[in-house]
Structure 1
Amino acid sequence: MTAPLLAVQDLVVQYGSLRAVDGVSFTLERGRTLAVVGESGCGKSTIAAAIVRLIRPTSGRVVLDGQDISALPEKHLRPLRHKVQMVFQDPYGSLDPHQTALRIVAEPLRLRGRDRAACLREAAVLLDRVGLPAGTHDRRPAEFSGGQRQRIGIARALASEPELLVCDEATSALDVSVQAQVLRLLREIQRDTGVAYLFISHNLGVVKEISDDVVVLRAGRVVESGVTERVLAAPAEPYTLALRRAALDPQVMTGRKPRALVAAAMEGRQA
């Protein structure tokens, strides 16, 4: 058997006395999509940040393509960064407002040593691939809609030819129709390139739509995992069932209503 593309082993991320992530383990196979789901504040985005090494884990291992990257110094990590890229929740905040879409996407290509003309040509192909035609390439982020900005973010991530794309609530800021378009685009890209996705979300509908496997997180710990269809259809843990009930009210999952409502769902009471 081949090794998984990503193996997270006993991952701990601690801030002072708070363990935001507490002994999390899972694997992700090449070309598949693994969702990490849970209510707001459960540690999902912290896991994503540790995997792409925006933060350094307190302990545990993050093994990418057979190499433990959890403690690598930056000079050794830099050559590996193209293998794993991130699509952020806020597409506008993650894009340089002073650069055009074409130059934003060309920048990762330039960092990989391509000449300027080749970078711009390849960036134009990527923008076209994500559904942004040539007439839009010279616009700046503020001139695009939220869905279009997220497409720019996806194109920029793909410019590095990653093996793993970490999507941190990548559709949560989009309305339902645009969300469906972006999910369809991500599936098409995976089919064409074989890229694997780690998909962070609070939205069980989105998780069901895009993921092969799911990890359910509560207070920094894994409470249930398995094939998405099975876990969501017949949860083995009360907390997973509570998330499914609470998903009927999206404000619970996004933290706009008290988490006591999730607890109420766990007890089968009316919120």
Structure 2
Amino acid sequence: MRPQVVAHRGASHEMAEHTLGAYVEALDEGAGALECDVRLTADGHLVCVHDSTLRRTASTRGRVSTMELAELAELDFAAWKNPWSDLDDEAPDRDETLDGVLTLRKLLETVADYDRRVEVAIETKHPTRYGGLVEKRLVEMLRDFGWETEQSPVRVMSFSFTALQRVERLAHGVRLVQLLDRGSTWPMVRRVIGKDWIVGPGIRLLRDWPGLADSITKSGRDIHVWTVNTEEDLDRCLAAGVKAVISDRPAYILDLLDQRDRAAQ
């Protein structure tokens, strides 16, 4: 079965991650789902930012959790990706409305208005100074969209088991993905997570722990793998029966899958 292709932070290989431009590009490329990380600002807004600090993606000091949304809106979250673009006479003009800080609400509105069903995989980042308030605000927003039910296009991911338990209590119908970055933790994790939870190992774990995917599948749980950017790793996922591949290069992965579909005809 063909896996869902999930755009990791948008089409982040070509464009600045977590910008609206990166997500619009991923949608236009045909991604079946979008992945984002969320953090809470000082004034209670959920924004799509991976790092706790702003140094890498906004070239400034400060932490997301200590700044208000209006302050973040003054920053450029895209220039770091192509720092020399201003010197390139042939570079396309930038649309600054696609380059600023992206709120989760704006991303979900974009998905809701799109002309086909698109799913969203939202990762809550921990530890954070706001603790469980992150999941509380997230579920409140999902309710605003009517997306807290089993039919929701949203699934929530985290490395934090406790965070996912919070979501389960607040919105029982939303699908949950327990992320894994160490194969040695799987025997313990499999005993505590819900029977219908999805398991999300990194691609490195599938390389280094050959029996892991089979063990997860035998436990009755689906597998979503991050971050799959090469043909070799895609083939590894296909062999393992992975249900979703999260990639910085959604167009490339979709093209590889199309090639395999044509070859199988």
Give the structure-1-normalised TM-score. Answer: 0.30
The structure that is strand-richer by fraction is 1
TM, length-normalised to structure 2: 0.31
Structure with higher RCO (Cα < 8 A, 6+ apart): 1
